[in-house]
Amino acid sequence: MPTRAEKFAGLSVAIVTPFRDGKLDSARLKQQIDVQAEAGTTCICPVGTTGESPTLTHDEHERVIAESIAASAGRLLVMPGTGSNSTAEAVRLTKFAAKAGADAALVVGPYYNRPTQQGIYEHFKALAEAVDIPICIYNIPTRTGRNIEPETIIRLAELPGIAMLKEATGAMDQASQVLAATDLTVLSGDDSMTLPLLAIGGRGVISVVGNLVPADMKALYDAFEAGDLQQARALHVKLFSLCRDLLGLASNPIPIKAAMALVGRDTGEIRLPLVPLEQPLVVKLRQALADYGLAVQPA
């Protein structure tokens, strides 16, 4: 049975925000989007957690959205992060994304101020009523401090503007409850949970490791869709090892940016309060990338 935003099924990649000498690197951003287009990625998600949105100025945030849409040039869907713990700010940024030509908006649950479930409902309702593009609820309680309960998501699904859920709780029971009660397009927010989520009705992933190996992440989804569970499981195991060895080193996006620098795809620059990966961990990361079969630049 088709889900509400079926065109977003497949591989979406939460792209990094490239910096050079502390400033946005537009040329590198375009290069990275070109890589995703060539890999057959369905959608890119700029300025999310992986895109270091908390450290971007408002002008930078808008610039990355606009430049990502321009660089995609219709080859990929674009679903930028437009969330905030201020409803008014989230509405403003989501309106900007819609006007700039975004295909959808990825909106994280309000963080830090820990609203009630009713407050969360009213927050997303205000967004859904403010724009015509689909809204993807991003539920990641380890970062926001507040779970969006399945009952709240089911209520929100009654609003036509709410189309997707990025599921990053790790709770398959919660995802199952939403899938059983709604036609939302549910996407994995955790690379290593992609296959389990597909198995219960999920329709894809918003991937971090897809910055490095989009073709492999796409192949996992394609194998599952084709009914080749043996191949899907084999890719899950292969990718799980990379995800464990990569994302377990430090908070995202520190390891993915370090990895992209090691394979020559980024400068690796990040902004405070994030700091570069410690040298002993860089050694481990270098080995993990080599073990996966990626060509790593000489030390």
Helix runs in 50-144, H state only: 58-72, 87-100, 117-130, 141-144
Cβ–Cβ < 8 Å for 275, 55? no
Contacts with 248 (C-beta within 8 Å, 6 or more apart), sequence order: none
Geometric angle at alpha carbon 242, from 239 and 247, rounded to 5°: 120
Output the six-digit token pair for 89: 């700010």
Q: Of 121, 125, 166, 218, which is the active-site residue?
A: 166
Q: Of 7, 95, 99, 138, which is the active-site residue?
A: 138
| 138 in catalytic set | yes
Q: How many CB atoms lie within 10 A of CB 198?
A: 22
The partner residues of 139 in beta bridges, in order of sequence, read 167
Contacts with 156 (C-beta within 8 Å, 6 or more apart), sequence order: 121, 124, 125, 128, 137, 162
Distance of alpha carbon 191 from alpha carbon 253, whole angstroms: 14
Cβ–Cβ < 8 Å for 176, 200? yes
Catalytic residues: 138, 166
